[in-house]
Amino acid sequence: MAASSILNNLKKSAIASLWLAFLTLPIMVIRVDTVEKTVTWRWMHLAYMLAGSFVLALFWHFMMDRRDRGAAARAAGTSQAASALGRVLENPKLVKPLLAMGFLVAAVFPYVFSMYQTNILISALIYVVLGLGLNITVGLAGLLDLGYVAFYAVGAYAYALLNMHFQLGFWTVLPLAAIMGAFFGLLLGFPVLRLRGDYLAIVTLGFGQIVRLVLENWSSFSQGPSGISNIARPGLFGINYSVEQATTYIYYIMLALVILTIFITARLKDSRIGRSWLALREDEIACQAMGIDNTKAKLMAFALGATLASVMGAVFAAKTTFVNPASFTFMESAMILAIVVLGGMGSVLGVILGAFLLILLPEYMRAFSEYRMLIFGATMILVMVFRPQGLIRAKRKVYKINTEAA
């Protein structure tokens, strides 16, 4: 039986790869130049496509079989969902040494590795916080926000503009950026309170686009597409650092912010508001019927997510010393969403892992860097189809009631 199913899969994959090769034939093979009126035929691409799609289709069918078997096992009640990764991370004997090691590496990183590496790690850490912020809105509260990058832009431009016009320092702007982020989060949150899942997604997408378009076109306010440069790096009580020192400094600021964010989100998850978010995500009407204030829960989720993004925006502006609207496109939102989806919606650890994977892997595999977004897109589909819970399943706190003690 196993042999016949493998044969069957091979046959199906062959058909699928032929179909995909036929579909992609004109676009992959033909390249036209309508000005010179020449046509280039690139037949090699067809061979790549055939081989590649065959392997992919085999993988797809293999995973499909596994998924079906998993569904059957769950129906029979014999499932044990924890993955190998999950089991390692749940083992208390391993978690503490791992955490300590991670912390140690993080603490000495800028002194061991070069400035270039440190800079990459800083951007990964920024995405960790962004992911955790979006995780609050999407993962916990189930509000699909496709304009998340708008809040990131708010923070970045807040620092850039306040620094340019009023010479305000990084530490003064950081709390201001947080407040502005919360304000913009509420600004978006209020009108969309009544909207359901997919409409909400579209409105947030529109909101994100509006913010970017305004930044691009309102030149007297934001200097348009050319952006704002020469933003001051953060200082400490009047000490100005050199570029290298500033990088190390920003690194430690980011490390502190990441730890703070992890602490906040992890604590929030089990708090009253965190549980009401989960209820909201599972069923809005039932949640309301249980006496949870929907409005408050939604607004809190938007405002908190936006605050984190806005703070990160300020850090981003300080790190690159330059902002322009091109950094805040929909693709950026999609990337943060991919981090949350891949990591596991609602899971703090998963999102951290997702951010490191999606930011660091393309950095270190330069050869593949142009395929980065292609792979992101494919990842989002594959994760949704085969592993909707993400890398690490979000754990729900279970309360055991001890009946014998009573």
Partner 1 sequence: MRPVPWFCKGKAVRDPPRGRQDGFMEYFLQLFFGGLSRGSVYALIALGYTMVYGIIELINFAHGEIYMIGAFMGLIVAGVLTAMGWPTLSILVIALIIAVLYSAAYGYTVEKIAYKPLRGAPRLSPLISAIGMSILLQNYIMLAQTPDFLPFPRLIPDLEFMEPYANFLATSDLFIIVTSIAVMVALTLFIKFTRMGKAMRATAQNRKMAMLVGVNVDQVISATFIIGSALAAVGGVLIASHIGQINFVIGFLAGIKAFTAAVLGGIGSIPGAVLGGLVLGWTESFAAGYVSSDYEDVFAFLLLVLILIFRPAGLLGKQRAQKV
CA distance 253 to 126: 11
Nearer Cβ to partner 1, position 73 or 385? 385
Q: Please, what is the minimum distance in Å from the beta carbon of residue 210 to partner 1? A: 5
Number of H helices, E strands in the chain: 16, 4
Nearer Cβ to partner 1, position 294 or 321? 294
Q: Please, what is the minimum distance in Å from the beta carbon of residue 34 to partner 1? A: 5
Q: Are 208 and 330 in contact (CB under 8 A)?
A: yes
Q: Are 323 and 211 in contact (CB under 8 A)?
A: no
The length of the chain in residues reads: 406
Q: Please, what is the minimum distance in Å from the beta carbon of residue 272 to partner 1? A: 24
Q: Please, what is the minimum distance in Å from the beta carbon of residue 136 to partner 1? A: 15
Nearer Cβ to partner 1, position 360 or 373? 373
CA distance 184 to 322: 22
Nearer Cβ to partner 1, position 259 or 378? 378
Q: Please, what is the minimum distance in Å from the beta carbon of residue 24 to partner 1? A: 7
CA distance 314 to 311: 5
Nearer Cβ to partner 1, position 20 or 82? 20
Q: Please, what is the minimum distance in Å from the beta carbon of residue 4 to partner 1? A: 23
Of 395, 316, 291, 352, the residue nearest 134 (C-alpha): 352
Nearer Cβ to partner 1, position 39 or 72? 39
Of 146, 160, 93, 204, the residue nearest 320 (C-alpha): 160
Torsion sign over Cα 332, 335, 337, 340: negative
Q: Is residue 185 exposed (0-12), middle (13-18) or buried (19+ Cβ within 10 Å)? A: buried
| H helix or E strand, kind and range, residue 228 | strand 228-229
Cα 336 to the center of its chain, rounded Å: 3
Q: Please, what is the minimum distance in Å from the beta carbon of residue 9 to partner 1? A: 16
Q: Please, what is the minimum distance in Å from the beta carbon of residue 264 to partner 1? A: 24
Query: CA of 321: how far to CAs of 30, 170, 314, in Å?
Result: 43, 11, 10
Q: Where along the sequence are the contacts to partner 1 (CB under 8 A)? A: 19-20, 23-24, 26-28, 30-35, 37-39, 45, 64, 138, 142, 144, 146, 191-192, 194-199, 201-203, 205-207, 209-210, 213-214, 217, 285, 330-331, 334, 337-338, 341, 370-371, 373-374, 376-381, 384-385, 388
Q: Are 295 and 377 in contact (CB under 8 A)?
A: no
Q: Please, what is the minimum distance in Å from the beta carbon of residue 151 to partner 1? A: 16
Nearer Cβ to partner 1, position 317 or 337? 337
CA distance 297 to 245: 41
Pair type for strands 322-323 and 38-41 = unpaired
CA distance 320 to 229: 9
Nearer Cβ to partner 1, position 47 or 256? 47
Nearer Cβ to partner 1, position 26 or 238? 26
